[in-house]
Structure formats: C-alpha cells, structure tokens
Structure 1
Amino acid sequence: MLVHVVLMRFADPSNAPEAARRLLGLLGRVPEIRALEAGLDVTRSEVSYDLVLTTRHADAEELAAYQQHPEHQALGAWLRPLLVDRAVVDHLVP
C-alpha cells in the first residue's frame, strides 16, 4: 500500500476548512483512492501547517492515476493558488 501525505499552508488559514471539505469529497468519486483523510491543525504553532491530506493507493501507478484524474485536477486548480507552501511524503506500508 502506498500512502500519500500532503501538508498544506494557506495564505489565509480560514480557507483550510473549505479545502478539507472539498478534498473529502473526492472519496467515492476517484476510484484510485482506497482511503482518504483530511485534518485541520488544532495547535496553530509557528511550525504548523494548516491542513494534512492522507490518501492510500495500491501502488505508484494508482497514485499517478489519482493525480491525473479530472476531479483531482479541478480541485488542484482551485487549491494551489491559495497555498503558500506544501510538503509531500509518499511512503509504503505493508
């Protein structure tokens, strides 16, 4: 199983809840997503990101298909201009 983790920092953190709502809406609409979680930061420390997205995929090919899916592309077009930073980690779990 491949786990895809994205940390997002928004220019305006008040956009994070709407982003989380839209990200959660991908579940069931993008077949390459096996599981999806979106969480908002609660501590608001100086090193915190505003939102974390975690998706699970069977393998790297399934992750690539998810990233190219029209629903993901449309959401990304809305989301990317709102971000000032993001970090990604893709890791394997048994």
Structure 2
Amino acid sequence: MIRHLVLFKLDEGVARDDPRVVEGVRAFRALGDRIEELRSWECDWNISERPNAYDFAINSAVDDADALKRYIEHPAHQAGVALWREFATWVVADYEI
C-alpha cells in the first residue's frame, strides 16, 4: 500500500473564502467517492497557525504504484489540480505503508 500526502500553500493574498478556493476544496473533497483506486481519503484545512504551516492537506492511500498512477491521471483528479494551480503551490510525499 502507498500513502499519498499533499500539503497546499495558498498564494500570497488568497483567502480561504475566495470563490476559486471554495471550488477547489469542493472538487478535492469529492474525490474520495469518485476514484475507486483510493483506499482511504482525508482532506481538510490545517488548524495550525505556525509560520511554516501549510494551509490544506490531503492524506490518502492506494494499493500500489499502478493505482497511484491511475489516481493521478484520473480526470476528476486532474480537474481539481487545474483549479488549485490558479491559487496555490504544493508539496507531495508518497511512501509505502
């Protein structure tokens, strides 16, 4: 099994209630029910206010590298990524569990 973690940082001056952000969050929250490769799916706003904290996180799991590839290439995932590119940057970590 592979754990897939993503941490998002909103661009300077972009707020959580920005309509683009609201739509991006909606798109990502829906992925857990739309992509069969996902074995677990969590995403939400970070509650930490530390200066080095990211703003939003995804914590998910898939069976293997092929399932991760299918998830990444899934049209619903790609649509969500396209939204987030407009207002955020992110870092990714994938590791075996």
Instruction: Give the TM-score of the pair, scaled to structure 2.
Output: 0.84
Total equivalences in the alignment: 92
1:76 aligns with 2:96: no
More off after superposition, 15-24 vs 2-11: 15-24
1:37-68 CA-to-partner distances (Å, cap 9, x unmatched) read 00211122110000110111000110000000
How does 1:1-94 map onto structure 2 within 5 Å?
1-11=1-11, 12-14=14-16, 15=18, 18-83=23-88, 85-93=89-97
| Runs of 4+ in structure 1 over 4 Å off | 15-18
Q: Which runs of 5+ in 2 are unaligned?
A: none
Give the whole-Å Cα distance in 2 for the aligned partners of 1:54 and 1:46.
21
Aligned-partner residue type, residue 36 of structure 1:
W
The Cα RMSD (Å) is: 1.6
More off after superposition, 13-22 vs 53-62: 13-22
Shift of the 87–80 alpha-carbon distance from structure 1 to 2, 3 Å rule, reads same
Q: Which runs of 5+ in 1 are unaligned?
A: none
